[in-house]
Amino acid sequence: MKKTLLILILSSIINSCNSRKNNNWEIYKKNVKELFNSGEIQLNKGTSIEKLNEFERKFSIELTEDFKELYLKNNGEKQGSSFIMGLRFLSLEEIESEMILLKKITKKYNDFSGKTIPENSVKKVYYNEKWIPFIADSQGAYLALDLSPDSAGTKGQIINIGNDENDHFIIASNINNLFSMINILITEKGLNKQNVSHLTDELKGEIIKGYFKPTNYKVEIKKSK
């Protein structure tokens, strides 16, 4: 009896800790609902741990825990939506299709002549098979989970890749940090779908200006004065 109770307590603590990892995703969904009177209706239900494991086996990768947690909550968005400030939140099935397409492209072309910001944080290629594109625009550009960073990067960082992404940035140190940054742009900068030109460009611009600053190769949030 005592052993069972201890297991239940430990399980509760672990679940509580895990639920806080992507707390900024929940805050973002709340912000969207309040701003646009929409929210969960645009999102798919969460995937299963079995499908995440299958995805890992198929691509010989090990996903980060925050990515898994995000997709257990919501497996992307419904067709015709643009839930991430005008960008699409891809389902696992869509991610798989995009990764297959990007791999085909890199068989013919994988040159990259741009900069990485911070330096040596992202590999200098057009696409790496361990980059997981999970947020996309309609022109072939993505925000991706980086599972194979360069020497100064960190596994699990979020980077910009694809068409017209001439320089690779660490956009955020992890998924929770990414949605924290977006939430700050909404609450402090008044960002919304009507005034955002392109979310990735907005984030890069704020990094360049120092509002979000790379420190020790992890994007940290600069406190407002």
Q: What's the pLDDT band for 39 if we cut at 50, 70, 90?
A: low
pLDDT value, residue 220: 53
Give dist(CA 163, CA 137) in Å, integer. Answer: 10
Which residues form the domain of 135? 31-215
* Structural domain includes residue 119: yes
Q: What pTM was computed for the model?
A: 0.85
Is a pLDDT exceeding 70 seen at residue 40? no
Q: How many CA atoms lie within 13 Å of 123's alpha carbon, on the beta-carbon side?
A: 16
H or E element that contains 140: none
* Structural domain includes residue 78: yes
Q: How many domains does the chain have?
A: 1
Give dist(CA 6, CA 3) in Å, integer. Answer: 5
What confidence tens digit (pLDDT) does each residue in 168-223 have?
A: 999 999 999 999 999 999 999 888 777 778 999 999 999 988 888 754 444 555 54
User: What is the mean pLDDT of the segment spanning 71-81?
Assistant: 93
- In this structure, what is the dihedral angle of CA atoms 84, 86, 92, 95, given to the nearest 10 degrees? -130
* Structural domain includes residue 6: no
Instruction: Identify the burial level of 71 via C-beta atoms within 10 angstroms of its C-beta, where 0-12 means exposed, 13-18 middle and 19 or more buried.
Output: buried
* Structural domain includes residue 24: no
By percentage, how much of the chain surpasses pLDDT 70? 83
* Structural domain includes residue 22: no
What confidence tens digit (pLDDT) does each residue in 159-173 have?
A: 999 998 999 999 999
* Domain containing residue 211: CATH number: 3.40.1580.10
